Amino acid sequence: MGIEGIGARVARKEDKRFITGRGRYVEDMVVPGMKYGVFVRSPHAHAKIRSIDLSAAQEMPGVIGIYTGPELKADGIGNLICGWMIHSKDGSPMNMGQWSPLATDTVRYVGDAVAIVVAETRGQARDAADAVVVEYEELPAVTNVVEALKDGAPQLHPEAKGNLIFDWEIGDSSATDEALSQAVHITKMHIVNNRLVPNAMEPRAALGVYDMAEDHYTLWTTSQNPHVARLVISAFYNVAPENKLRVIAPDVGGGFGSKIFIYPEEVVCLWASRKSGVPVKWTADRTEAFLCDAHGRDHVTEVQMGFDADNRMVGLKVDTIANFGAYMSLFSSSVPTYLYATLLSGQYAIPAIHCNVRAVYTNTAPVDAYRGAGRPEATYLLERTVETAARELGVSPAELRRKNFVRTFPYQTPVIMNYDTGDYEASLNAAMQAAQWDTFPQRRDEARARGKLRGIGMSCYIEACGIAPSQAVGSLGAGVGLWESAEVRVNAVGTIEVLTGSHSHGQGHETTFAQLVAGRLGIPIEQVSIVHGDTDKVQMGMGTYGSRSGAVGMSALLKAMEKVEAKAKKIAAHQLEADENDIVIENGEVKVAGTDRTLPWAQVALAAYTAHNLPAGMEPGLKETAFYDPQNFTFPAGCYIAEVEIDPDTGKTEVVQFVAADDFGVIINPMIVEGQVHGGIAQGIGQALLEGCHYDATSGQLITASFMDYTMPRADDLPSFQISHQTTPCTTNPLGIKGCGEAGAIGSPPAIINAITDAIGNNNLTMPATPNVVWKLLHASV
């Protein structure tokens, strides 16, 4: 499609504003009369609120107003909800407790919002927040899911007896039990998927602006899906009807899932703006982000994988307990169910699979989607179990995987998913070649001579992206459809604005979406502008998460483009006195194929707007919209190989080589796709080696609540990555795109852990594999 079309490494159009300091994030916004909001938060993990005394705080300099939960309730502001209904296996609906945006009588995690102070300056608001006196009656707290399910555990919500939100299952339990009873070998694993804090570099922020004259609200917010925010805030939180609420998500500094959800602060800033009569801006500090952003992962799982005498997988049984934190966040229930257990077949033909999931309340921050959302948890347990099985069976890990790969497509798994296409062996072969797998023993021996322990590990992942066919997810409990919309506005001079419901917070849509348009028409990419993130400009859209912008958002754009092109061809055919079926659009011209009869693109656009000479009955203008609803999920897959060296004296792991071989289907911009993989791998290595979110088990205090206590991956923790692509185009969307945003974070943790356990000869390893953890295992095995 030309030098700027599909497949071209086009430098990003959006970069100039970011590299010159002209990005515009929510915290950068200033509106007339704007004041600052600071939240009073619970210092306790679980407590009754006995009283709130505002008298001293209200007298502090600069204070405009202080607002609490009971006032918010009195104004009819609704509770926060989870938008995905899950039914337990006994048929009962999930037990959702109440979550008021400001606590009314009970706080359930450290950081739970109790009041908001609005003041002239940020400092004054903070001072006054410190002067708010809340009298608490402390209650016992529980942070660990296993403890939370025990008799006598502290109870969080009356709606959820025993802290159990749901007890859900998928797959055929008896068939799986039968398969395992016939198995020649069963590999059993106890797997803990460590809790993570997303930590987008831009802390969340919200600016609520109430216009009394119009009875209208504007919310500037750090959101991955501003339209969903508007819908939910309007329909469920009763702040304002949708036509009286504009939501703008301008430049957003990373999301990784954590900015999908609607948080208390967004609702409260809108409400507080009306109460106080001034625009209210709140920006999280980093510790607030640690305390209050939705966390990720936090599963405890028992796995049994059965093999026959030929080392073929015969059955997989999985029992998972998932930590939901103190409240059910917007999409929390979908993560350890339909985004997790449906991927448990991995890349393998496993005839019988059963998974049981118990979702549990604890006195911790809410847990929801974080890069990969369920799929990393599924991949981690599968790929550690397969690797362990290979060691137990005495076969090579590559050959055991190869033997069990799905090889014919479409492939229906026992857990809902229908894989349309793939070539798992191609990625495995490419990764092994790039990693020089065959010569690893020499490198291991050489390392041993230097006193280092060297290990190699692989992981073959699959994920489901392109989320998702609306009817299918509706039948599974989703409260929304997961289509996407696009609008293509051709200006009279031929330049183009694309309005998309997808939202870019680092993914480069302003470039990739423009590449599709510029490539199809053969016009310079500078003539195509992408607009997103504003509900007043863009029609309803569903936002960006689950690696869906390419597969779903760009498919919508393609549909809109096809309509625009069809109309342009009709105009050109009329003016060139040709049959519209003979008209082609290429190199910026609309022409009769095989002739020199041609009109410049800009002239056709102008003709559409002058309307002096259009085909009879044609409406003026050149602007089309489209909604695209996917037919199926897409299934990116690949193979990752990590090589590590461990210093036995310190337990420190160095990742000396990391190879990724991915099948993302058709790629629009390889440079951007590689960047997505790099970032995902870094987050995965972070989970495997560095990042562990820890709550004190009795007090419920978050111990890792700053960058000094929670180890973010830094440049010197990581190697450069070797990346390749193997391509089988997706068969269920028109562009063949599968999606690439989450793969790195999904495939890398088990590769790293498998490499470390290979190096140290001890499989009893939990993430993060810090030097302390590894050193202890090394010394335990001496």
* Residues of the shown chain interacting with another protein in the complex, contacts defined by CB under 8 A: 11-12, 14-25, 27-28, 121-123, 199-203, 251-254, 256, 283, 285-287, 505-508, 671-672, 674-675, 678-683, 706-708, 712-716, 718, 720-721, 744
How long, in residues, is the chain?
A: 782
> Residue 192 or residue 671: which is nearer to another protein going by CB?
671
Shortest separation between residue 287's beta carbon and another protein, angstroms: 6
Shortest separation between residue 185's beta carbon and another protein, angstroms: 38
Q: In sequence order, what are the beta bridge partners of 196?
A: 296
> Residue 326 or residue 655: which is nearer to another protein going by CB?
655
> Residue 16 or residue 50: which is nearer to another protein going by CB?
16
How far is CA 354 from its chain centroid? 25
Shortest separation between residue 654's beta carbon and another protein, angstroms: 12
> Residue 328 or residue 745: which is nearer to another protein going by CB?
745
Helix 226-235 crosses helix 264-276 at what angle (to 10 degrees)? 60
How far is CA 421 from its chain centroid? 23
Write phi, then psi, for 103 (nearest 5 degrees).
-60, 145
Q: 153: Cβ–Cβ under 8 A, 6 or more apart, which residues?
A: 142, 147, 162, 163
Shortest separation between residue 35's beta carbon and another protein, angstroms: 13
Instruction: Give me the sheet containing 113-119, strands edge to edge.
Output: 63-68, 113-119, 35-41, 280-283, 205-211, 216-221, 245-248
Residue 154's alpha-carbon distances to 46, 159, 181, 298, 694, in angstroms, are 9, 14, 38, 19, 19
Q: Which of these, 538, 531, 514, lies nearest to 12 by C-alpha position?
A: 514
Considering all CA atoms of the chain, what is the largest pairwise distance in Å, rounded to the nearest integer?
A: 88
Which DSSP helix (H) or strand (E) runs through 40? strand 35-41
Buried-exposed string 584-596: b where 16+ CB fall within 10 A, e elsewhere:
bbeebbbbbeeee
Q: Which of these, 471, 355, 466, lies nearest to 413 by C-alpha position?
A: 355
> Residue 331 or residue 370: which is nearer to another protein going by CB?
370
Shortest separation between residue 611's beta carbon and another protein, angstroms: 39
Shortest separation between residue 687's beta carbon and another protein, angstroms: 13
Shortest separation between residue 527's beta carbon and another protein, angstroms: 20
Cα 173 from Cα 177, distance rounded (Å): 6
Shortest separation between residue 17's beta carbon and another protein, angstroms: 8
Q: Where are the beta strands (DSSP E) in 565-611?
A: 583-586, 589-592, 598-600
Cα 461 from Cα 380, distance rounded (Å): 9
> Residue 94 or residue 128: which is nearer to another protein going by CB?
128
Shortest separation between residue 480's beta carbon and another protein, angstroms: 25
Shortest separation between residue 322's beta carbon and another protein, angstroms: 24
> Residue 77 or residue 672: which is nearer to another protein going by CB?
672
Q: 331: Cβ–Cβ under 8 A, 6 or more apart, which residues?
A: 82, 83, 84, 260, 261, 368, 369
Cα 725 from Cα 53, distance rounded (Å): 61
Copy the structure tokens of residue 480: 């929304």
CB atoms within 10 A of CB 212: 9
> Residue 487 or residue 662: which is nearer to another protein going by CB?
662
> Residue 304 or residue 748: which is nearer to another protein going by CB?
748
> Residue 561 or residue 702: which is nearer to another protein going by CB?
702
Cα 469 from Cα 542, distance rounded (Å): 12
Shortest separation between residue 7's beta carbon and another protein, angstroms: 16
Cis status, amide bond into 648, omega within 30 of 0: no
Shortest separation between residue 671's beta carbon and another protein, angstroms: 5
> Residue 466 or residue 506: which is nearer to another protein going by CB?
506
Shortest separation between residue 208's beta carbon and another protein, angstroms: 19
Residue at token pair 């974070």: 745
Q: In sequence order, what are the beta bridge partners of 355?
A: 170, 318
> Residue 592 or residue 655: which is nearer to another protein going by CB?
655
> Residue 255 or residue 397: which is nearer to another protein going by CB?
255
- DSSP letters, 501-521, are S---SSS-HHHHHHHHHHHHH
